[in-house]
Structure 1
């Protein structure tokens, strides 16, 4: 070994560098080219930062990985060719590494197949268990669950039955990430197809009907640094950094639009764009495309043409004369005796039984450490010799259990402080979280909606998703970047949810339920349901009275935590650039824009919130809240493009009747809540304008202002009959609505009226050309240049029954005339 190689080997290697050493040392075949004990000894030595203890035969692989990280990035095709012709790093071109990407697909179809909370809860928990426990255990990674040894033996035994060689070839260091319902991992090149098949099989055997997909490919070691190189280095024809830069000259860029669209993604030098694309990022993109092809029924990308196709989805046939389960899709296998979770009229299929038993266990309804009686009965009825399916959820924490642990666990970030713990448990006399054994998890939507007025009988669905995640990923260049980014996003999302729930909710005592609700009156519960937290996706069910406040806190805490974890997520710039950016961003807010905090995080969250009755079918509510999320994300894209606003957005709707929306929300709003007002023929100076009778989607700053305005409206004791009358006049025109609002507004007591002036008319409805206001309207310009008059009054009236926010202060010294003339902006 050369002195240079010896010095390079002394440097400590990261987790993923050790993974590369493992794959290289294993070799191209399924049987390792060196004794397995030597391979494990080498990884252990590197993990303990003792490279001198690496067996001599394996030292060259450490040198190869070190040389890869120190390799200069070539600027021209000639530099690339010279690099490949150099005998020193030739092994970087010949050695290959396996890369596998997979996970669950069509998750919503599986999770929200049923209309009841127990099945939804169980389906989500089962998928979470596979992704967060089963797949990492494939690689021998330790996870935080009870009786890890027993669970890992069961899962490893399953994997060995499929391929004992595969089980030996996997180590924890190979995992790049396993969050958000997907896994990305290295593996020895000979096991690419077997590992992809095992991932798909695990989802299929555990859930029976949940869709999953996995793809893999063998890449040259050099490609992990320089991106896909197949066919580009033959005959000296490949275009590299400098050659592509010349094609992007302004005079020739129009004829090379494909080059521009492939590399140009950021406002930065072309060299940075090129290195971002021609890096490990390109390999992941290739696998992602193949993943979508295979998921859609195509053959996708496979290292072996002999791999079985996935184009036929799982199906369970039913005979027309046989009983079907509650979903009316699959043959029922039993009708269990009545228990506290299954009544004697329920027809159970195998799929439904698995969802329901996992849901019951994770909610601790049937005791700890044992299976429900009805499920044991089903197991005993199986044919002799058939091994019964075991739900490993007995050892898996539910999301609420993890929330409880966050009060004292700081391993994954800042735990919730004692003040937040005391506030959350206010009213329930406990001295420590571990003493709150009588606080259970909500068993139904009716229990979550069982609150004192306001909001009795109503719940809210919160669906959140990250903004600009895909764009930010395009700038990641190395496997380490992917691993770090995935960890940051998943932990920031989880912590943001826990902080928001602890800040705005408290444990509640169930009161007033009918006797047929398992006699739960007097029980203390955690008043929320975390359906799933996966990567940057969040789906919650919370009480209606705190829904918007929780959503706002999730968005704000997500950005705050990310910046605290890594300053690189923050938008950079000089002081002058930051001031200019802040002024530009202020134009994106209708509410008190001068006081709006800057949005200085590249990543944020868009959130949909649906407030509806606790009897609304879950699959119907999920469809509507997903539409609200898409509306919020579209608004975020527009604000980022026009005003460089990087922050989150929220869109919400109050659904007081299940039949209120019979079509898409966008169509309903377009037809019922958006009105074009042509110019009057009697006023030749008038211009065309339109009325928008709802305010959403809102920015996070606007949601805070909306909640403050809502509290002021309730405190003003504005008669409900007059509010409803003003709302009915909104559709009759701008001036008619203004006249009615001002008339009823002046009839309030001075102190009450000043509340609305301070918290509604001033911050929301200021005129552009004078010091007056347009209450209840606020004005803006559309793409055609016409004025759009928007009002939040309808949203305020819808939210008023759910207002439980603290009182606001009025300004008794405010003597501004109530009838300030309105001037067209």
Structure 2
């Protein structure tokens, strides 16, 4: 139905959000399960779009597990019953919580402790004729209240003495899944995800070749194939998200503008992803693609990629995102062994992203920002600060910090450039010695590295000193007291250096 027809009838806004979407997608670390979960959720979104169009409604946003639509008031209750059934039929356990405006003339909803709170009072105080941003804000409050008041979730019966699923280990196994290594007893949820993930490979191949038709290789079947050729099997989990997109959406005055802006952001994000992959993987040769694109939401992306390509991809993406959307973005990178549980990758990346967003807002002008964490010896955890504390020490009553992360975009580009230069000019064994020296303190590390530079060939000494001076600029404290690559943090008894960041990325880029 055309836009004019939709606007001529009585309509209400319908909002939905997939519940615990990350738990569903990252329940297993097997690549077919992750790919299949994403494919099934996209299938649900496509079917919801179709049902809303058949009901003469209009989709404003339907990406990344979030839904906002304008639908005829007479159809709202039917759609509210059909959408949960769509998720149950495709995923078995995934659900979407829904909230909608009360149809004109409808009786007030029954009171509940949450609905009678501030959110419920604001919603009931806003007549349908209120400005569109306010309607969306009130509906979001109602959706939050609905999520908090959920009392039941779909589960499969689990018997105490039944054989557990070999993939999730949560539910009872009920059928065999035939894999190259042999049959596995699995539950219906994991079986459905695996079949969907296997079928999704052909769709990924077609989508990728639309952007890069000359790119060879095949989508990886598992994480072992994804990290093929990567030293020590290092895998990077990348999570990026646009800055202030939600705030801008709340300034749009009508549904048409909201819809147009959402489409623009999604198309710009998608274009930035594929262009950045083309830049980062230029010259790549292999049998299986060194990446897996998990999700492109409205303005956020989730991606798995070999560690050596993580930084060039992230920088190119942030640059292209701003080019195609006029907005900045923040990005988090977590690097560990490919056998590290994906759910911890995701949790750490989400935590790092908060720091990147704070850094993006810290300057005189908004900017894109990058944060990262490398776990050479992976330890289970979900709070990034616990791992970042290892980059700090005490010396004579002053705090030493061996890292200057997170970085704004221009600094991150400089970090990449310096890491490449350090990789080429300093051997791996020497870099390991430099990293050890940093932990000994300011003067011991400066003396040791100066001694190492003095032993370098005549032509390399000047270049290495300039490299260390430029590394000092990464700390961002202009005019502060400094000692070669260390900078005194103004107003605090603390010294900071970016050398550990450089040394880590020089190691990670070694095979590039």
Using the size of structure 2 for normalisation, the TM-score is 0.88
TM superposition shift of 1:528 = 1.2
- Asked if the contact 1:118/1:444 (under 8 Å) is kept, the reply is yes
Contact 1:294 1:311 in 2 (8 A): no
Look up the SS of the partner of 2:374 in the other structure: strand
Counterpart in 2 of 1:333? 174
Q: Which residue of 1 aligns with 2:508?
A: 802
**1:707 match:** 416
The verdict on how the C-alpha distance between 1:404 and 1:719 changes in structure 2, with shifts beyond 3 A counting, is: closer
Question: 1:605, CA displacement in angstroms?
Answer: 1.4
Partner residue in 2 for 1:545: 308
Report the CA distance between 1:203 and its aligned residue.
Answer: 1.3
Q: Structure 1 CA distance, aligned partners of 2:152 and 2:123?
A: 33
Change (3 A) 1:281 1:765: closer
Q: Secondary structure at the match of 2:182?
A: coil
In 1, Cα distance between equivalents of 2:104 and 2:455: 78
CA distance in 2, matches of 1:648, 1:701: 9
What is the deviation of 1:490? 1.0
Tell me the residue number matched to 1:134.
47
Aligned length: 492
Rounded to whole Å, the distance in 1 between the matches of 2:511 and 2:479 is 34
Q: Distance in 2 between matches of 1:750 and 1:464?
A: 43
Shift of 1:762: 3.4
Tell me by how many angstroms 1:492 deviates: 1.1
What is the aligned-residue RMSD (CA, Å)? 2.8
Instruction: Identify the residue that residue 201 of structure 2 maps to in structure 1.
Output: 363
Residue 404 (structure 1) aligns with: 209
Q: How does 1:574-723 map to 2 (within 5 A)?
A: 603-637=327-361, 639=362, 643-659=363-379, 664-670=383-389, 672-677=390-395, 689-716=398-425, 718-723=426-431
Q: Which residue of 249, 260, 279 maps to 2:131?
A: 279
Q: CA deviation at 1:631?
A: 2.5
**Aligned mates of 1:705, 1:231 — CA distance in 2:** 52
Q: How big is the shift at 1:728?
A: 2.3
Tell me what 1:343 maps to: 182
State the match for 1:521 in structure 2.
none
Q: Equivalents in 1 of 2:126, 2:321: separation in Å?
A: 42
In structure 1, stretches of 5+ residues that fail to align are 1-13, 25-96, 141-166, 222-227, 234-276, 298-309, 365-396, 408-420, 429-438, 511-523, 564-602, 680-688, 807-825
Distance 1:650 1:104 in 2: 27
Q: 1:778-793 residue pairs with structure 2 within 5 A?
A: 778-781=487-490, 785-793=491-499
Query: 2:494 and 2:130 mapped to 1: Cα distance?
Result: 45
Change (3 A) 1:353 1:694: same
- Give the Cα separation in 2 of the matches to 1:216 and 1:232: 13
In the superposition, relative to structure 1, how do residues 805 and 468 fare at CA in structure 2: closer, same or farther (>3 Å)?
Answer: farther
CA contact (8 A) 1:98 1:191 kept: no
Aligned counterparts, 1:67-216, within 5 A: 97-131=11-45, 133-140=46-53, 167=54, 170-171=55-56, 174-216=58-100
- Counterpart pick for 1:315 among 139, 155, 179: 155
Structure 1 residues 765 and 777: CA distance shift in structure 2, 3 A:
farther
CA distance in 2, matches of 1:788, 1:480: 52
- What aligned pairs does 1:544-583 form with structure 2 within 5 A after superposition? 544-563=307-326
Contact 2:87 2:96 in 1 (8 A): yes
Partner of 2:245: 469
Unaligned segments of structure 2, at least 5 residues = 106-121
- Of structures 1 and 2, the one with the larger relative CO (CA 8 A, separation 6+) is 2
1:627-666 CA distance string (max 9 Å, x none): 22232223224x1xxx33311111112222223x657320
Q: Where in structure 2 are the equivalents of 1:380-529 lying within 5 Å?
A: 397-398=203-204, 400-407=205-212, 425=215, 439-451=217-229, 455-506=231-282, 510=286, 524-529=287-292
1:1-80 correspondence runs (5 A): 16-21=3-8, 23-24=9-10
CA distance in 1, matches of 2:200, 2:41: 13
Counterpart Cα distance in 2 of 1:694 and 1:445:
30
* Alignment match, 2:434: 726
Helix, strand or coil: the match of 1:178? strand
Q: Does 1:533 align with 2:296?
A: yes
Q: TM-score, normalised by structure 1?
A: 0.56
Is the partner of 1:526 in helix, strand or coil?
coil
Secondary structure of 1:331's aligned partner = coil
CA contact (8 A) 2:330 2:369 kept: yes
Q: How many angstroms apart in 2 are the aligned matches of 1:802 and 1:731?
A: 20
Does the residue aligned with 1:694 lie in a helix, a strand or coil? Answer: coil
Contact residue 307 and residue 508 of structure 2 kept, 8 A = yes
SS at match of 1:103: strand
Residues 197 and 214, structure 1, Cα contact 8 Å, conserved in 2: no
* Larger of the two Rg values belongs to structure: 1
What is the CA distance between 1:555 and its match in structure 2? 0.9
- Change in Cα spacing, 1:662 to 1:180, as seen in structure 2 (3 Å) is closer
Structure 1 residues 620, 667: closer, same or farther in 2, change over 3 A?
A: closer
The alpha carbon displacement at 1:17 in A equals: 3.9
Q: Which residue does 1:304 correspond to in 2? A: none
State the Cα distance separating 1:553 from its structure 2 match. Answer: 0.9
d(CA) in 2 for partners of 1:504 and 1:616?
24
Q: Distance in 2 between matches of 1:355 and 1:220?
A: 41
Structure number with higher strand proportion: 2
2 CA distance for matches of 1:403 and 1:476?
Answer: 33
SS for the counterpart of 2:68 is strand
Residue 331 of structure 1: CA displacement?
1.8
1:604–1:746 Cα change, 3 Å: same
Q: Report matched runs for 1:287-302 at 5 Å.
A: 287-297=139-149
Q: Which of the numbers 465, 471, 484 marks the counterpart of 1:757? A: 465
Superimposed CA distance per residue, residues 638-695 of structure 1 (whole angstroms, 9 cap, x where no aligned partner) = x1xxx33311111112222223x6573202323x32234456xxxxxxxxx4211122
SS at 2:175 equivalent: coil
Asked if the contact 2:472/2:497 (under 8 Å) is kept, the reply is no
> C-alpha separation between the residues in 2 aligned to 1:769 and 1:335?
66
Change (3 A) 1:644 1:769: closer
Cα distance change of structure 1 residues 106 and 662 upon mapping to structure 2, 3 Å threshold? closer
Report the CA distance shift for 1:759/1:113 in structure 2 as closer, same or farther (over 3 A).
same
Distance in 2, Cα, partners of 1:616 & 1:668? 15
